[in-house]
Structure 1
Amino acid sequence: MRNLTALDHRLFQKSQSHPQWRQMAGIARWVSRTGDGPLYGLIALAFWMSQWPALQGYVLDLLAAFAIELPLYIALKNTFRRRRPAVALPGAQAFIKPSDQFSLPSGHTAAAFVMVTMAIGHFGLSGLLALPWAMLVGLARVLLGVHFPSDILAGAALGACCACLILF
Structure 2
Amino acid sequence: MNIFQNIHAVDVQTFSWCMARKHRAILTRIGRAISFSADGPIYALLALLFWFAGEQILTLVLVCGFLIERALYLLLKRGFKRNRPADALDNFNSFIIPADQFSFPSGHTSGAFFMAFCLSEWFPGMNVIFYFWAANVGLSRIFLGVHFPTDTVIGALLGSACAALAIGVLV
Same fold at TM > 0.5:
yes
Structure 1 moving runs of 4+ over 6 Å: none
Q: Which amino acid aligns with 2:60?
A: L
Greater displacement, 69-78 / 124-133: 124-133
| Deviation of the 1:125 alpha carbon | 4.5
Q: Deviations over 1:11-50 (max 9, x none)?
A: 1011111111122211100100000001111111112112
Question: Where does structure 1 lack aligned partners over 5 or more consecutive residues?
Answer: none
Whole-angstrom distance in 2 between the partners of 1:128 and 1:120: 8
Q: Does 1:162 align with 2:165?
A: no
Partner of 1:26: 29
Whole-angstrom distance in 2 between the partners of 1:129 and 1:48: 22
Q: Which amino acid aligns with 2:39?
A: D
Partner of 1:68: 68
Q: Does 1:16 align with 2:19?
A: yes
Whole-angstrom distance in 1 between the partners of 2:157 and 2:26: 29
TM-score normalized with structure 2 length: 0.92
Question: Where does structure 2 lack aligned partners over 5 or more consecutive residues?
Answer: none
Q: Deviations over 1:51-82 (max 9, x none)?
A: 3xxx3321110111111101110010000000
Alignment partner for residue 52 of structure 2, among 41, 44, 49? 49
Partner of 1:140: 140
Whole-angstrom distance in 2 between the partners of 1:124 and 1:90: 44
Identity of aligned residues (%): 42
Partner of 1:102: 102
**SS of equivalent to 1:101:** coil
Give the length in aligned residue pairs.
165
Whole-angstrom distance in 1 between the partners of 2:83 and 2:6: 17
